[in-house]
Structure 1
């Protein structure tokens, strides 16, 4: 007699979390799970409690209601669990819900739960889903371990070993292999892998991955065509909209990028990061009503989200100013102070934006007072602030009449980001809004050309075989420009080329690590970083 293989799957060793705001439903669920052998069971009533539990215990199975009442929703539990790395590839996350609206389904699908189940449901259906997912994920543990220590080569080899055996979850393992190749910066290998899969048919995740390889390697027109083709075949594949918008920005087509995100937010309005991005692009496009709507959505969606940010409030306030409603901007900033009472960077951002709003209202004394408050916070932070706040500081100085200080800050921002078109667009926005559009254009051009010349002179020294001089040159440049990705990458590469031919020194190796750490911090997706890291690993002595 044959046995059903699903009956051999046990929950005895699985750690399970049940999240639902109704006690009786949690009790029913726990009784079901115990009947299938589950021993390690936790249950909580709120999303906040769920995140707290996940922080101290790694769960194998999470059954989470979508509507948890006041506080985090089931979507936001999934969102934050992935954001904080509490939910892994092998974790089973099932959304349990009595709702079946398109908005709910699309919102939750943005963060890819493993399955949904509609209330009420028969016991047998949940059992079938859980056991199917256990079988589907049970062979991912070793791959996860390799990825946890960033041993991507081993992770790919483990994927290949499993693919050769054609397991039940073959598609999931193949998809995972593609993601690992992209993480490792093996773009050509990833492109070949995706192309091979696409020869078999229209596989959406493979097409998306192929588009990403084009985007990451600067093949923007090819990427655009791929993402547009994905959407034409299935307009519910939401990541394709995000990547298409990024590609269009790279192609300097900001109007179409905005249109793409507007369509996406119509289909799936509950994705907070997309709303933020739409607000940013609309603001740069001077479509202030759309920016206002997007930022309002981001503020609302962010109330219980891990992606909640003071920038959502300050950006909304600036959109109100551009819409000739600065008083409403001050109201939003007052809400921001209540929402972020203890964060220094938030206080700095809010004070700088208040200075801008007060100036627009003609309240010069209040504007100067807000700027003074920001300067005191700056002193406490020892000047270590993110680049977006540097631009806000520059804006505040300029609107308060100190053009020299403001332009000095902007010059440094441009020098650090001379190859970052999106950041340069933000700089242009500051100049436009402070009445310095023409002079600002000259400043951007001067600073960009200065860094290009500086970099090219160092590269020429290296090309002429003058490596010692090139090393000294780029060391000085990197000391002057610690936040410039290209300068630090070239400083690392030339130093490693020298060590490859002349031997490794501990001091030089430490300098290389410093440069590479800076590059990773500035842009973790920098296309040359995997190559630089491979060079570094070849030089590091084995224990």
Structure 2
């Protein structure tokens, strides 16, 4: 028998008798490093403290666990969505045959294996052995991904496709996913199309649709997803992407119908219910939005990932419905159950301002909005949607200074992804050209200061610091034709002086392509392209690819 003494295992099962049986089976297999979890919440708590090689998880976690309908599949999707387990973690689901037939095709993020109950120690040992052996093939790639070396991971996948024929399609899938992470959509699309020529598997259709969506080929993505759902009506991730595709095409009513179909099949997924509520609200279906957001608040009640923005969404819907009594009750629940952090305080103030507006109390509404803006700097992880909504509320209540300062802060936040153009558009769409001009001028002055700072750092030989400064400026203005050549030039100088670094070279190449796309006749472009080619030749890098 293979030596498993170094393997660590987390058992997730609400039944103490089953946990004892599993522990005994694992001990007989030579596995002694075992921890227990009785619910999804306690499992997440354990995984926040340490990592495990294997997770053995009961599918039905609701019995006595207080998780309000949570099951093992939803736990797995949460763990992967929030990146609480590594790619090399082996997740094995324990389930009855009847449940297995319902869930095997329903999830995009499938476990490494299912073990049908009742099972013997021999069956469990065989499944663990198979999963551990398979992991050994992929571990070098997973480790490269963990180190952030995605380029090397792609190369290794290609090599493994040739040397491990049995797992070639899985290495191709992983290679496509890596290209997606690098936003190389055409490369990923070609891999999925190649796979589908010989293996019409659902995940490849979904991957192809993701590429089509990212390339804004929305009608093609819709057709791919419609066909996938027709052949596999329980492939839930296809519904989610199909709804997003219809949203992108401005078809919110159709997106709502698709999400309603998905929720009817799989009613417990909080993220999908939240999406349904958002789409229904935008489509003007207040009743569906209210029902969805109420379910989100209820189902997330015991979750480790509870989000106070869900209460804001529900209050917003109830206010639109004109139900002040229920809206007040939701705010009180938010104050009572999620107290003690800046995110909750901002959400409480935003919700209270909406209720004050409904009650025709503009003074109270303005006071709550000022408090929300004042507290915003202490928050972490609030969505851009809530922040931009707060800007609109400030404008509606004549709090121009608060709206402007919040919008400028958003463009200064490197994680927001909101550019100067985005900020200006928010005010233009609100009919406030004066504020749009003022914000644009403020951000332009900041960009000028960053350009001067980068030039000074470059003059002192600190090329890496100059590039960091310019990258920060590009996040504010990704199409600025003063920043783009300056950033590309600094990167070329670093490559020439300090040696070839593939990530820097790749970013420089992307900037040159952006300049070419925005202004193919820019006078700096041929000079920069010649410098790039000369630097490639200097280090023996092929210039023919």
TM range (shorter): 0.7 to 0.9
1:318 aligns with 2:312: no
- Once the two structures are TM-superposed, the CA of residue 344 in structure 1 deviates from its matched residue by 0.6
Contact 1:351–1:371 (CA<8 Å) still a contact in 2?
Answer: yes
Q: Does the Cα contact within 8 Å between 1:411 and 1:443 map onto a contact in 2?
A: no
2: CA distance, partners of 1:206 / 1:180: 14
2:123 and 2:84 map into 1 onto residues whose CA distance is 26
Per mean C-alpha deviation after superposition, the further-off stretch among 247-256 and 231-240 is 247-256
Note the 1:152-231 alignment, pairs <5 A: 152-231=150-229
Between 64-73 and 333-342, the greater mean CA deviation after superposition: 64-73
- Residue 43 of structure 2 corresponds to 50
Decide whether aligned partners of structure 1 residues 340 and 270 sit closer, same or farther in structure 2, where only a CA change above 3 A counts: same
For residues 350 and 100 of structure 1, do their structure 2 counterparts lie closer, same or farther at Cα, with a shift above 3 Å needed? Answer: farther
Find 1:70's aligned residue among 65, 87, 99: 65
Name the CA distance, whole Å, in 2 between partners of 1:130 and 1:81. 20
Aligned to 2:478, the other structure's residue is in SS state helix
Q: CA deviation at 1:347?
A: 0.7
Match of 1:59 among 42, 52, 63: 52
Q: 1:77 to 1:261 in 2, by over 3 A?
A: closer
1:161 Cα deviation after fit: 2.1
Q: Cα–Cα, structure 1 residues 383 and 28, in superposed 2: closer, same or farther, change >3 Å?
A: closer
Report the CA distance shift for 1:122/1:504 in structure 2 as closer, same or farther (over 3 A): closer
Q: 1:502 to 1:152 in 2, by over 3 A?
A: closer
> C-alpha displacement at 1:28, in angstroms?
1.0
- The answer to whether structure 1 residue 38 and structure 2 residue 38 are counterparts is no
Separation in structure 2 between the aligned mates of residue 9 and residue 290 of structure 1, nearest angstrom: 54
Superposed, 1:79-478 pairs within 5 Å as: 79-97=77-95, 100=98, 105=103, 109=107, 111-364=109-362, 366-371=364-369, 373-374=371-372, 376-378=374-376, 381=378, 387-399=384-396, 401-402=397-398, 404-405=400-401, 408=404, 416=418, 440=429, 442-443=431-432
Shift of residue 491, structure 1, vs aligned partner = 6.0
CA contact (8 A) 1:75 1:107 kept: no
Extract unaligned runs of 5+ from structure 1: 1-7, 429-438, 459-467, 507-511, 520-534
Please report the TM-score for the alignment, with normalisation by the length of structure 1.
Answer: 0.74
Q: Deviations over 1:504-543 (max 9, x none)?
A: 799xxxxx99xx9xx9xxxxxxxxxxxxxxx9xx99x99x
Structure 2 match to 1:11: 4
2:484 aligned residue: 493
Aligned position for 2:518: none
Give, in whole Å, the separation in 1 of the partners of 2:166 and 2:95: 28
CA separation in 1, counterparts of 2:153 and 2:474?
33
Q: Contact (CA 8 Å) 2:474, 2:483: kept in 1 or not?
A: no
Q: Secondary structure at the match of 1:43?
A: strand
Cα pair 2:100 2:116 within 8 Å, conserved = no
Aligned pair 1:28/2:26, yes or no?
no
Indicate if the aligned counterparts of 2:470 and 2:487 stay in contact, CA closer than 8 A.
Answer: no
Query: Could you tell me how far apart the structure 1 residues matched to 2:261 and 2:434 are?
Result: 35
Work out the CA distance in 2 between the residues paired with 1:250 and 1:494. Answer: 32
Cα distance, 1:262–1:76 mapped onto 2, change above 3 Å? closer
Evaluate the alpha carbon distance shift between residue 226 and residue 280 of structure 1 in structure 2; reply closer, same or farther with a 3 A threshold. same
Q: Deviations over 1:149-204 (max 9, x none)?
A: 22112111222222112354443323222211211233222222112111114122
Partners of 2:106 and 2:234 within 8 A in 1: no
Could you tell me whether the CA contact under 8 Å between 2:246 and 2:254 is conserved in 1? Answer: yes
Higher relative contact order (CA 8 A, sep 6+): 1
User: Is the contact between residue 103 and residue 270 of structure 1 (CA under 8 Å) also seen in structure 2?
Assistant: no
CA contact (8 A) 1:255 1:285 kept: yes
Residue 23 of structure 1 deviates from its aligned partner by: 2.2
Tell whether the 8 Å contact from 1:51 to 1:80 is kept in structure 2 after alignment.
no
Residues 1:99 and 1:300: Cα distance change in structure 2 (over 3 Å): farther
Deviation at 1:367, TM superposition (A): 3.4
In terms of mean alpha carbon deviation, does 137-146 or 33-42 score higher? 33-42
Following superposition, the deviation at residue 228 of structure 1 comes to 1.7
* Equivalent-residue separation in structure 1 for 2:390 and 2:189 (angstroms): 42
Compute the displacement of 1:146 (Å): 0.4
The alpha-carbon deviation at position 71 of structure 1 amounts to: 4.0
TM-score, normalization: structure 2? 0.74
Cα 1:174–1:351 change in 2 (3 A) is same
